[in-house]
């Protein structure tokens, strides 16, 4: 209970900061310093968000689908590659630099190529999401596999454990916290990745809608889309945290006991 | 009867001999200590006996059977309890059974009754993080016991990370529990008092390369060790050990 109230007090500064920014935004618009066709006021954006809600939901569904498919494939791919790289040292040495290089390629630059190769359907969008989400998860898993206490592995070997058992009982569980840290980053990348790829062509999705309202100079609706993307990303990150807590009950115990001792 | 013996074990790493010609034996239900300064190769010897390291020469015999380089037969406990944080205590303790292909349910059923005997009643469903250092070591010893199919366990400074008071309590508990279960152990320590208090016999090891220098028998029966460390007999044992360590 005490912990909960501490949690709330620790969020107060963030709420105040956010409120101040909103106030500043509103003040700039209300005073007429920035014309409303350049920057719509917060009230306009909220109005647009509500008025446009059915439209926004329709497009969000498509973007979310792309993000979800991409993220699931990204997780699977990251798991396979990280696990194989951890198992075979030479493969690790061969692939590590390539993995890093793929991350320096700007997403926005390959998106048009993907559209060129795969058309205007879902495929290029999902591919882009896979490319962006795969890396943080793979790196997290690899780091996790290597964070294992070597004494734990010695003990498992002394108990006669085979490679698979060492993986199952020691390596994989130790990698879980790192996996979830990576997943949290990837979840927020996923939606943004889908939207970016939609900018470059497509029939529906938040990115497509965004380019449409931009061309109509409906900046209030554009802001509404941006805010929706922010909300979706935050919700996804919260979902990852929830799954993490549920699937790793022992971390809660650890935190509780740390508090008790201090 | 001899539970375990090593015969002329030598092991070197990149040309440097770490342990040389080590022959020790462990009788049934005996507690033997391996006492020596750090760097005398005690842990290397344990790694060889447990089978995770292959010696350059020599053999490890478990009840006469050659188990050199075959892990999983002789149980091993380290200074860190190494309980896996993500598993409940009962699953940690029964892990050796599961590694041998026994189902989780069956392993839990076999392990459960031992909790009380080991003074771990009520901790089955806890995560290790919720237990004190002393309790964690008890759980680790129970796991070690369950992993010792041949009734032989190696304990590598198992209590050295505990504070003095907890250590005293766990010593009493350890002598007590060892009376109840069938387990022959070799116990690494650099604490002379601990070695005398907890052993039937002490091997004294000196370093670079690690060799067995002497063997000291502690005559006092194990079930009569209460306040043993306050007696003259204890001090005379300690004098003997110190003399050997100093090389006189």
Q: What's the complex ipTM? A: 0.83
Q: What is the pLDDT of residues B93-130, one digit of tens each?
A: 999 999 989 999 999 999 988 999 888 989 999 999 99
Write down the H helix ranges in A122-162: 123-146, 150-158
Rounded Cα distance between B130 and B127, Å, is 6
B82, B100, B129: residue with CB nearest A152: B82
Residue A262: what pLDDT?
46
Span B2-74+151-246 CATH architecture: 3-Layer(aba) Sandwich (3.40)
The boundaries of the domain holding residue A182 are 41-261
- CA angle (B14, B17, B22) in 5-degree steps: 140
Residue A4: what pLDDT?
58
DSSP, collapsed to helix, strand or coil, labels residue B217 as strand
Q: Do A113 and A212 lie in a common domain?
A: yes
Neighbours of A254 (CB within 10 A): 15
Q: Do A133 and A256 lie in a common domain?
A: yes
- Please count the CA atoms within 13 angstroms of the CA of A92 that sit on its side-chain side: 15
**Helix axis angle, A89-104 to A123-146, nearest 10°:** 130
Is the previous residue joined to A259 through a cis bond, with omega within 30 degrees of 0? no
Choose among A142, A122, A109, A139: nearest CA to A68: A122
Contact B98, A162 (CB under 8 A): no
* Domain CATH number, residue A105: 1.10.3720.10
Rounded Cα distance between A8 and B57, Å, is 65
Q: Do A151 and A25 lie in a common domain?
A: no
Mean pLDDT on A208-214: 91
Is the Cβ pair A159, B71 closer than 8 Å? Answer: yes
Kindly list the domain boundaries of chain B, sorted by start residue. 2-74+151-246, 82-147
Contact B206, B178 (CB under 8 A): no
Contact B77, A148 (CB under 8 A): no
Mean pLDDT on B222-232: 85
Q: Do A106 and A22 lie in a common domain?
A: no
Q: Do A26 and A57 lie in a common domain?
A: no
* CB contacts, 8 Å: B71 with chain A: 157-160
Residue B133: what pLDDT?
86
* CB contacts, 8 Å: B52 with chain A: 154, 157-158
Chain B residue closest in CA terms to A164: B99
Contact B110, B147 (CB under 8 A): no
Q: Do A47 and A119 lie in a common domain?
A: yes
Compute φ and ψ for B181, nearest 5 degrees.
Answer: -110, 160
Q: A32-36, A52-56, A222-226 — which is least confidently predicted?
A: A32-36
Give the pLDDT band of residue A1 (cuts 50, 70, 90): very low
Tell me how many domains chain A contains. 2
Chain A residue closest in CA terms to B131: A257
Is the Cβ pair A161, B86 closer than 8 Å? Answer: no
Is the Cβ pair A151, B80 closer than 8 Å? Answer: yes
Is the Cβ pair B129, A253 closer than 8 Å? Answer: yes
Rounded Cα distance between B237 and B244, Å, is 11
Q: What is the pLDDT of residues A182-198, one digit of tens each?
A: 999 999 889 999 998 89
A157, A169, A253: residue with CB nearest B84: A169
Contact B218, B47 (CB under 8 A): no
A174, A176, A250: residue with CB nearest B127: A250
Percent of chain B with pLDDT over 90: 44
Q: Do A231 and A248 lie in a common domain?
A: yes
Averaged pLDDT of chain A = 89
Q: Which of A148, A151, A157, A158 to mutate to test the interface with B (most CBs of B within 10 A)?
A: A158
* CB contacts, 8 Å: A253 with chain B: 126-127, 129-130
Q: A37-51, A98-112, A183-197 — which is least confidently predicted?
A: A98-112
Is the Cβ pair B76, A158 closer than 8 Å? Answer: yes
* CB contacts, 8 Å: A165 with chain B: 99
B229 compared with A17, residue with greater pLDDT: A17
B50, B87, B126: residue with CB nearest A158: B50
Please say if the pLDDT value at position A153 is more than 50: yes
Q: What is the pLDDT of residues A55-65, one digit of tens each?
A: 999 999 999 99
């Amino acid at each position: 209970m005490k912990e909960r109230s501490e949690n709330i007090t620790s969020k107060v500064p963030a709420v105040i900061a956010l409120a101040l920014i909103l106030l500043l935004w509103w003040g700039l618009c209300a005073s007429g310093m920035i014309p409303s066709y350049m920057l719509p006021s917060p009230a306009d954006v909220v109005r647009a968000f509500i008025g446009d809600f059915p439209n926004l939901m329709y497009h969000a569904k498509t973007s979310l689908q792309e993000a979800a498919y991409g993220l699931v494939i990204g997780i699977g791919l990251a798991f396979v590659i990280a696990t194989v790289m951890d198992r075979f040292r030479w493969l690790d040495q061969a692939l590590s630099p390539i993995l890093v290089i793929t991350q320096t390629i700007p997403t926005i630059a390959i998106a048009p190529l993907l559209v060129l190769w795969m058309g205007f359907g879902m495929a290029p969008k999902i591919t882009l999401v896979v490319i962006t989400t795969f890396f943080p998860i793979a790196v997290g898993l690899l780091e996790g596999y290597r964070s294992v206490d070597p004494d734990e592995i010695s003990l498992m070997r002394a108990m006669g454990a085979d490679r698979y058992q060492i993986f199952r009982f020691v390596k994989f569980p130790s990698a879980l916290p790192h996996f979830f840290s990576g997943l949290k980053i990837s979840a927020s990348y996923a939606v943004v990745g889908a939207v970016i790829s939609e900018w470059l062509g497509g029939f529906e999705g938040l990115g497509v809608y965004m380019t449409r309202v931009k061309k109509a100079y409906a900046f209030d609706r554009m802001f509404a889309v941006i805010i929706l993307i922010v909300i979706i990303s935050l919700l996804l990150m919260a979902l990852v945290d929830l799954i993490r807590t549920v699937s790793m009950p022992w971390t809660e115990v650890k935190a509780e006991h740390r508090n008790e001792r201090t | 009867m001899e539970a375990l013996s090593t015969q002329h074990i030598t092991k070197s790493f990149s040309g440097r001999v770490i342990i040389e010609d080590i022959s020790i034996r462990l009788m049934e239900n005996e507690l033997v200590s391996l006492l020596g300064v750090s760097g005398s190769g005690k842990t290397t010897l344990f790694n060889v006996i447990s089978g995770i390291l292959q010696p350059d020469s020599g053999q490890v015999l478990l009840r006469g059977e050659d188990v050199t380089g075959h892990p999983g037969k002789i149980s091993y406990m380290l200074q860190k309890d190494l309980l896996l944080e993500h598993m409940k205590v009962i699953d940690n303790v029964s892990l050796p059974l599961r590694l041998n292909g026994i189902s989780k349910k069956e392993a839990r059923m076999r392990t459960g009754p031992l909790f009380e005997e080991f003074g771990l009643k009520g901790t089955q469903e806890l995560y290790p993080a919720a237990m004190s250092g002393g309790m964690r070591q008890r759980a680790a010893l129970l796991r070690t016991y369950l992993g010792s199919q041949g009734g032989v366990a190696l304990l590598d400074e198992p209590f050295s990370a505990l504070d003095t008071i907890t250590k005293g309590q766990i010593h009493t508990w350890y002598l007590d529990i060892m009376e109840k279960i069938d387990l022959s152990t070799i116990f690494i320590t650099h604490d002379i008092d601990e070695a005398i208090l907890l052993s039937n016999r002490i091997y004294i090891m000196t370093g670079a390369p690690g060799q067995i220098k002497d063997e000291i028998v502690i005559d006092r029966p194990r079930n009569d060790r209460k306040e043993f460390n306050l007696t003259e007999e204890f001090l005379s044992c300690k004098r003997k050990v110190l003399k050997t360590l100093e090389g006189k």
